[in-house]
Amino acid sequence: MIDSRIKFRHLQTFVEVARQKSVMKAAGLLHVSQPAVTKTIRELEEVLGVPVFERDGRGIRITRYGEVFLKHAGAALTALRQGFDSVSQALSGEAAPIRVGALPTVSTRIMPKAMMLFLREETGARIKIVTGENAVLLEQLRVGDLDLVVGRLAAPEKMTGFSFEHLYSEQVVFCVRAGHPLLGRGGSVFAGLDAYPVLMPTRASIIRPFVESFLIANGIAGLPTQIETVSDSFGRAFVRASDAIWIISEGVVAGDIADGILAALPVDTGATKGPVGLTMRADAVPSLPLSLLMQAMREVAGDIAAVG
């Protein structure tokens, strides 16, 4: 039985604090004071009878009870949001947008072609596509701000409450500009790696552990000039204008390599291969437009898998 003391503001505040991992940031986004957020969380904890957050140094972290409640609170907010959207749509005649989180590896390789296929269906649905780090996109998916995340499979501990559909597999590449000195040199690429700036995936990215393990396995314990980035636009521009080496998912630069603008160094990176696919909330039922978009992605991915 639902406790009548639980209000919408309790769920909204709890989910936002969990998402931001900060009372201050949540207060700013909710346009209320920090004491008001703290009071609301304490009221929720009193009703539940357990703490949902605990101190972690100067910040806070969600407790295991909070993790359990978050899945249901997020689903409840999503259901309410969909209810409000349905009424608004009935009044205005507009359909709710399909909200897709796309990792950089699929933003350039899958999404453009999939969107062209989807638009042929003439559903009239609005599409919202956002990019970012996997951890951020999965959190937005968890709380209902996204309907689907497309990209590389996250670590098992990050997939609780989600379902994953495998589309194809890809590996990372060591990407450089056309005419880079290492392209024409014989011998091991790793012997000269420390002479150039290296663009690395950030520590929060899915492929970072694979890249680190691969480098260590090939005798590279550290790089003197290392730049961490998830920006494909920066990476592309910087590599084209310098002798930097970009360690990145193959899908991000596949088009540039095919066009001869960039080139992959002769390094066997098969050990970094991993699955790319569709991640949804396990309890979610896709709408007809979302189902059509997912089918378009499957068709495009099928062509990639056939080639690769």
| Across 258-287, average pLDDT | 90
Expressed in percent and rounded to 5, the helix, strand and coil fractions of the chain are: 50, 20, 30
Distance in angstroms (rounded) separating the CA atoms of residues 17 and 21: 5
User: What residue segments make up the domains of the chain, in order of their start?
Assistant: 8-73, 95-169+274-307, 172-272
Report the percent of the chain where pLDDT is more than 90. 41
Digit-coded pLDDT (tens) for 55-85: 887 788 899 999 888 888 887 887 777 667 6
Q: Which of 7-21, 56-70, 82-96, 118-132 has the lowest mean pLDDT?
A: 82-96
pTM metric for this prediction: 0.67
Does residue 3 carry a pLDDT above 70? no
Please tell me the CATH code under which domain 8-73 is placed. 1.10.10.10
- Report whether 238 contacts 199 (CB < 8 A): yes
Question: What pLDDT, on a 0 to 100 scale, did the predictor assign at position 85?
Answer: 65
One-letter identity of residue 40 = T
Q: How confident is the model at residue 1 (pLDDT cuts 50, 70, 90)?
A: very low
Residue in 218, 221, 220, 210 with CA at minimum distance from that of residue 275:
210
In this structure, what token pair is assigned to residue 164?
Answer: 């994953």
Identical fold, 95-169+274-307 and 172-272: yes
The topology under which CATH files domain 172-272 is D-Maltodextrin-Binding Protein; domain 2 (3.40.190)
Q: Which CATH architecture has domain 95-169+274-307?
A: 3-Layer(aba) Sandwich (3.40)
In this structure, what token pair is assigned to residue 132?
Answer: 């970012």
One-letter identity of residue 46 = E
Residue in 268, 282, 290, 306 with CA at minimum distance from that of residue 169:
306
Alpha helices, H only, the chain: 8-20, 23-30, 34-48, 64-92, 104-107, 111-119, 134-142, 208-217, 232-240, 250-258, 288-307
Digit-coded pLDDT (tens) for 164-213: 999 999 999 999 999 999 887 766 888 878 889 999 998 888 888 899 99
Distance in angstroms (rounded) separating the CA atoms of residues 266 and 262: 13
- Report whether 232 contacts 108 (CB < 8 A): yes
